[in-house]
Amino acid sequence: MVFLVNFARVVFAPLLDPFRAAFGITSEGAVGLIATLAWVGSALPRIPTGYLLTRVPRHRVVLGTGVVLTVATTFTAFAGSLTLVYLGAFLMGLASGAYFIAANPLVSELFPERVGRAIGIHGMSSQLAAVGAPLFVGLVLLRESWQVPGLGELAAWRVVMLTLAVVAAVTTVAFYRVASRSAMPTAGADDRNLLVALKRQWRIILTGVVVLGGTGFVWNGLFNLYVRYLSVAKGLAPAQGRTLLTLVFLAGVPAFFLTGDLADRIPHVPLLLGVLGAFAGCLLVLTYVSGFLPIVVVTLVLGYVVHSAFPAMDTFLLDSLPDENRASAYALYSGVVMLVGATGSVTVGALVDLGLQYDEVYRGFAVILVAILGILVVLYRLDRLPSGAD
């Protein structure tokens, strides 16, 4: 399930150029909006899903997200205009956002003794989708159209969406069968009030928003436009760009597992601050390197570092929050972070439309991240950040 919902979010990055050609898009902002809407869709249901989890068991919400994903991908596969693609991307994002809010607390409660390791494995499975999406899209795009039994000839991007819809339907049925035969944890039975969770856990929530909000914004604005950025700013061919996009996600596979396991062993906040600083440094280096091989090296390091932020943060939150506030507080944190992050790609596109170069935009983002890091380090030294143990 997590493989599919993340596939639905990241699949738009390698499909932006086919959408540009299919619908005659000329604006960088307009094409970036497709990816942004998928992430806005992933952000908006998070707080409402947190409220829903105070009334509905987590596994039933996960099942519902599978149904929504199946319907949304089918709708997108047959979209006849850019507006309908926008709507389809938004609906696919809705499914992913609701899924993570329900599934991450469920995973942490299924494995309370090793939260970091469990979250890392779950995240690694999600990351495999990010690796597979550019590869699968690249293979399908080897042909401009495909003959589909019963449907005739379909454009390659429609085949991508239709395949996702079929697999989502099958997997949703499989999840239903497994969940109906399994004993689910009851650790969150007392989690019944979002406002109470906010009042009690606001310091942990705010720390998470500050640390990952800026990182998520910059990362969203980088990876969704990575193929385009490498083509325009670095002179690489689109095929090379798709390969590097795959590599940046591939580097995240061990990052989820290893950093999740590491988060069980060392203090949470220093780990988070270290990852934030490393990501800012990698981004800055990326804007100065040239040549395919140097870019490959930076891409791999950057991919490992940025994907380390997600299991580190999830472990910090889910390991620190008490049972009676876990899902509600996590939903509040995640909803805000995703709303901030979702605007990254459209912001980058708009800044480029205004005349800035991609490298200039990303250098500015790196400087902002360093400034945020400096403030957080000072607060940590003054013991004003929650440690994760309070």
According to the model, what pLDDT value does residue 390 have? 39
Instruction: For residue 228, give the amino acid letter.
Output: R
Q: Using CA atoms, how far apart are residues 22 and 157, in angstroms rounded to an integer?
A: 9
User: What does the pLDDT look like over 362-386, one tens digit per residue?
Assistant: 999 999 999 999 999 999 999 888 8
Local confidence band at 305 (pLDDT 50, 70, 90 cut-offs): very high
Answer yes or no: is 314 within a domain.
yes
End-to-end CA distance of the chain: 33
Domain of 199, in residue numbers: 2-381
Q: What angle do CA 255, 95, 90 make, to 5 degrees?
A: 100
**pLDDT over threshold 60, residue 321:** yes
* Strand, helix or coil for residue 384: coil
- Bridge pairing between strands 152-155 and 145-148: antiparallel
Does residue 190 have a pLDDT over 80? no
Whether 388 has a pLDDT exceeding 60, the answer reads no
Domain count, the chain: 1
Q: Is 390 inside a domain boundary?
A: no
The stretch 286-304 carries a mean pLDDT of: 96
| Whether 242 contacts 299, CB under 8 Å | no
Residues 6+ apart with CB under 8 A from 77: 154, 158, 161, 162, 165
Residue 389 lies in a domain: no
Kindly state whether residue 387 falls inside one of the protein's structural domains.
no
- Chain position carrying tokens 């580097």: 251
- With cut-offs at 50, 70 and 90, classify the pLDDT of residue 74: very high
Inside any domain, residue 133 = yes
386, part of any domain: no
* Type of residue found at 281: G
By residue count, the chain amounts to 390
Per-residue pLDDT, 188: 63
| Chain centre distance of CA 216 | 8
pTM (2 d.p.): 0.78
Flag whether pLDDT at 61 surpasses 60.
yes
Per-residue pLDDT at 182: 83
CATH code for position 84: 1.20.1250.20
Would you say residue 74 lies in a domain?
yes
107, part of any domain: yes
